[in-house]
Chain A
Amino acid sequence: MENSLLLTYLLLIPFIGSIALLFIKAEKENLIRYFGLGISVIAFLLSLVIYFNFDPSNSSFQFVHKFKWIENLNINYFVGIDGMALLLLVLTTFLTPLTLISSWTSINKKVKEFTFFMLFLELGMLGVFVSLDLFLFYFFWEAMLIPMYFIIGIWGGQERIYAAVKFFIYTMAGSLVMLVAIIWLAIHASNYLGKFTTDLVELYSVAPLFDLSIQNYLFIAFALSFAIKVPLFPFHTWLPDAHVQAPTAGSVILAGVLLKMGTYGLLRYNLPLFPAASLHFASFMSTLAVIGIIYGALVAMVQTDMKKLVAYSSVAHLGFVVLGIFAMTQESMQGAIIQMINHGLSTGALFLLVGMLYERTHTREISYYGGIAKLVPVYSFFLLLVSLSSIGLPGLNGFVGEFLILLGSFKSTVLNSWWYTVFATTGVIFAAVYLLWMYKRVVFGKVVNPKLNDLTDLNKREIFVLVPIIIFIVWIGIYPGTFLNVSEKTSDKIIERVFEPPKVELK
């Protein structure tokens, strides 16, 4: 029983930390930085404890903790995780301290507020991944928008207000549709359960019994909200704006964790709750995903701003994940889960690297650079390695995810066509084109711009930020078993829920 409180403790750490932070004087910037870092490191250590106590052979939710919240409506504080949530949980607590270190010098105004919002954001993200109650989930889902809004809006670039508002309104608009769907779902489920409840586990058992038409409406409402977050083509246009304007830490968290919430939501809610609708929409969603893969890559190819390029590449990468989810085979599902982690690591690292360059030169224009390999060899090495991981070079993490997704979608009986995979695979070519082309223009060649000559290479702090990510990039690439094992039962369970939905009669 001790165990069951771990998740709550994990949520409490950033919560209490962010409150305690308010009592520190704003002038003590370094103390605030160390304090924020300390809190996030403690959260990371606790998530490791959770990781090692997790039983991967058990397919049900673990560390479950539940108490009554709004009794009349049977809304509970109900948390618990499975393998997929665990991986994303650890990813979140892993990236947060790294982003805090990375913004050590780049954020130098309103440090207190920044650290507060980062901890608050961590709380929101963790909450999304551990919630097993739709109401609680929605609460965290929306709560997390607020700190992100401020992070973009206060510490962002030139057009930060526009980007922040667009990000907020766009995702909010999607979520509101989901809120309606949650209420509808709970009310409709009360016909079967005899009571109104937002308890996910109970809903799992009855939602699949709904008529197909109702499932379809609910599916669309949920999927719309998640698709905006993912972002799935054609709901992606907030992403480049938000990424370009956000400070490095914001971009890293945005790409690393926030986007995963969309795909996580699809896996956690859409597929198990509305299996019939999921099968019905599988081809449609996969088509969008494949369009996203190619479209994102092509548009990324011609970008002139490094951050925008990486942002569009996210559209392509997340397209792979969505394809993997809706191919609904063991291979593709596992690939999708591992690819979520991969994207968090690789793209997170790419944003960190772009941010490090930006901090030195204050520009992200590709044409400004050229030939920096000679000036900053260590930086060039890291950028190459991370680019290769993003390209999906075997031996690094990206390949494992993409390969499993493509392999699985190829044999998928749900999609029942080779064309999805054939087109998606061509995305592999474009990935090489846009990243290595950028690499060539930025790193190789002669130093043409004299302003670059006083560029300094990475310092110890920056290397310290990158090395842990690199370790995982190589680890997942060579021995993904560590992570695949954790999520194996989860993905099997999701597939089982889709193909063998529960059959219970009306109460």
Chain B
Amino acid sequence: MIDLIYLAVFLPLLGFLINGIFGSKIKNVERSKIPFLGEKIIGLIGSGAIGIAFLIVIGAFFETLSLPADQRTNYVNLFTWMKVGALDVSFAYQVDQLSLIMALVVTGVGFIIHVYSIGYMHGDRSFWRFFAYLNLFIFAMMNLILADNFVLMFLGWEGVGLCSYLLIGFWYDKDFEKSTTSAAGLKAFVVNRIGDVGFLLGMFLIYLFFDSLKFSEVFSRAVSFDVPEHIFTLITLFLFIGAIGKSAQIPLYVWLPDAMAGPTPVSALIHAATMVTAGVYMVARTSVLYAMAPTTMMIVAVIGVFTAFFAATIGLVQNDIKKVLAYSTISQLGYMFLAMGAGAFSAGIFHLMTHAFFKALLFLGAGSIIHAMHEQQDIQHYGGLKKYLPITYGTFLVAAMAISGIPPLSGFFSKDEILWFSYTNLGFVFWLIGVLTAMMTAFYMFRLYFLTFDGKPRFDEKQTHPHESPKMMTVPLIVLAVLSAIGGFIGIPEIFSGAHGNAFHSWLSPIFKSANLKLSYFGAHSHFEEYLLMAISVAGALGGILGAAYIYLKRPSIAVNTVEKFKSIYTTLWNKYYVDEVYDATVINPIVNSSRSFLWKLFDNKIIDGLVNGMARSVGDVSALIRKLQTGIVQSYALVMMIGILLAMFWLILSF
């Protein structure tokens, strides 16, 4: 099955092509007996392609598992892409422990979300286009994670950005907040591009110093070549800029909240579970380089923990259900980068995986709620939905508990591991901020939960009749809920599992071996410490939940009073620290305005073109002077001629 991995990449492309080219025709296929036959065929092609891809990845996974630990990296080479000078990149796929985990998550969660979308997008005018884009996204994402070189990874990297752009602006004629969905898409693409420039420059540096862009060659040369540390710092910093853009970290996170303009399954798949984690994956993939650059590691950790905290504070006050989830995604991604910065690469990947489960579930649940509430997204207008949406309610609760880190759900294991490593490898402060963030996470997730499902309905029950979503949507919710609940057991920390060790870590350890050798954190920490910290963080999460319960169920007045009391802080948070406005005022508007009024209208039209036309005009002016000599009177010409002849004669005579 490993050899067939390219099918897992190209089947989604095939699905994209079929649905993209014939979709509008298939859509109109109608047989009297089966309603919406066209939609069903399209949905079947779309999700079928991903489903088969998922099976192939599973097959490859088990085949890899059956190999000895040191032979688990395999390559599938398709064809040469660019071969110039020392550059030789191919469409070639690297199937190893890390890429398999990612591929499983992407195709697995991707498949579930595809199935969900058949229900969610039912009746949409551009049903076929949606599935075409989704399949294209999976294709790009698979290239990103399976690539055996930086350039192919970049193809996937930009490809997912494109799909994100297309899907955010999927309902291109809709308004979104102050602007339109297509504006949100454009913002996402451009901000991502800023990050991509970093990625590109990182690649150029790698090529300059290691003469290759193949992962295996670069990583072995990184260890063997004698390259100064500041070069590694530079390389990794540039790559990290790429990761910041894609994974929505400070200061390039601004696109992700706007990305919620897209259909909800898109938010679940792209802007929560898979694409935004590409940055984390990239850092993990290039862990060898990062391990050589301690400065960058520190920067990664600081940006990660700061983003986690910062996004969580904004999440506290948002009222749009998808916005809350978006900020929580940014915050969780911050955790993953904190893990990367702490050198706990496999812990970061672990959290990436569990996060994919519970965050996808949260978004799909949100989609189910929005569906039921007729596109209403404001949680102030929800309430008491428990009885209307029992399945959504149950699964949402599991996910909320998982993200809050309640044992033994998946989020607990992964988040706790990150906190533990940030304590041992980075220091107390990082841990403390992490725990505070975890508390806030628990608080705002349960604020969301209580305002939505508990309490009295705050909508007009006569006009709105919420109803549970169809099976097509609830079954995926249940599957994801199961995964969110038990997904953590594959990575039970050593203190619990004892001699077996952490299965997830030992699976990934060959990938991070050389990085970990370089890092080698020492420092003895007792089990007691670990238990203690764990207890504190669980207590913090529980505190957050209880606080939310107390405030939003018992005493809603507290929330109102707090808002009144700290009005300025509240409005700052509500307006997301005015970051968008600051960017507009300091970067975007100056560039656009100066381009328009100075570069174009003044410099180009007046100065450069003015010079050109001015030269032409000055020739004309001189000619205008000279032509005055042409009086048109023949006799004056004759006179001038005579004078000329006389002068010539004198000159001849004098020269003798």
Contacts and interface: CB of A to CB of B under 8 A. Distances in A.
B207 A411 contact: yes
A20 B616 CA distance: 39
A445 interface: yes
Contacts of A371: 172-173
Contacts of B183: 440
Contacts of B205: 410
Given A393-B162, A394-B158, A428 B197 contact: yes
A400 B152 CA distance: 12
Contacts of A298: 591, 595, 599
B155 A395 contact: yes
A302 B79 contact: no
Contacts of A488: 84
Given A410-B204, A421-B204, A237 B84 contact: no
A429 B197 contact: yes
A417 B159 CA distance: 30
A429 B194 contact: yes
A286 B609 CA distance: 22
Interface stretch (A38-46, A246-254, A475-483): A475-483
A472 interface: no
B236 interface: no
Given A330-B85, A394-B159, A410 B207 contact: yes
B197 A426 contact: yes
A170 B612 CA distance: 8
Contacts of A374: 173
Interface in A380-412: 388, 393-395, 399-400, 403-404, 406-408, 410-411
Contacts of A445: 172-173, 180, 182
A443 to B, nearest CB: 7
Nearest to B612: A237
Interface residues of A, number: 57
Interface in A456-489: 478-481, 484, 488
B208 A400 contact: no
Contact of A444 (B157, B182, B595, B600): B182
B82 A436 contact: no
Contacts of B613: 166
**A interface: dominant SS:** helix
A335 B87 CA distance: 12
Interface string A423-439: 00110110011001100
Nearest to A446: B173
Contacts of A135: none
A404 B543 CA distance: 55
B189 A436 contact: yes
Contacts of B595: 298-299, 301-302
Contacts of B172: 371, 373, 443-445
A440 B186 contact: yes
Contact of A330 (B84, B91, B158, B204): B84
A377 B450 CA distance: 44
A421 B169 contact: no
Given A303-B600, A411-B204, A445-B180, A329 B85 contact: yes
A479 B79 contact: yes
Interface string A127-169: 0000000000000000000000000000000000000001001
Question: Taking each of A374, A407, A479, which has the highest tally of chain B beta carbons within 10 Å of its own beta carbon?
Answer: A407
Given A237-B612, A421-B201, A407 B87 contact: yes
Contacts of B159: 393-395
Contacts of B87: 331, 404, 407
B596 interface: yes
Interface in B321-376: none
Nearest to A329: B85
Nearest to A443: B172
Interface of B: 24, 79-85, 87, 91, 151, 154-155, 157-159, 162, 165, 169, 172-173, 180-183, 185-186, 189-190, 193-194, 196-197, 200-201, 203-205, 207-208, 591-592, 595-596, 599-600, 604, 608-609, 612-613, 616
Interface of A: 166, 169-170, 234, 236-238, 295, 298-299, 301-303, 329-331, 334-335, 371, 373-374, 377, 388, 393-395, 399-400, 403-404, 406-408, 410-411, 421-422, 425-426, 428-429, 432-433, 436-437, 440, 443-447, 478-481, 484, 488
The 7 closest A-B pairs by CB, nearest first: A444-B182, A394-B155, A330-B85, A302-B596, A410-B204, A237-B609, A444-B172
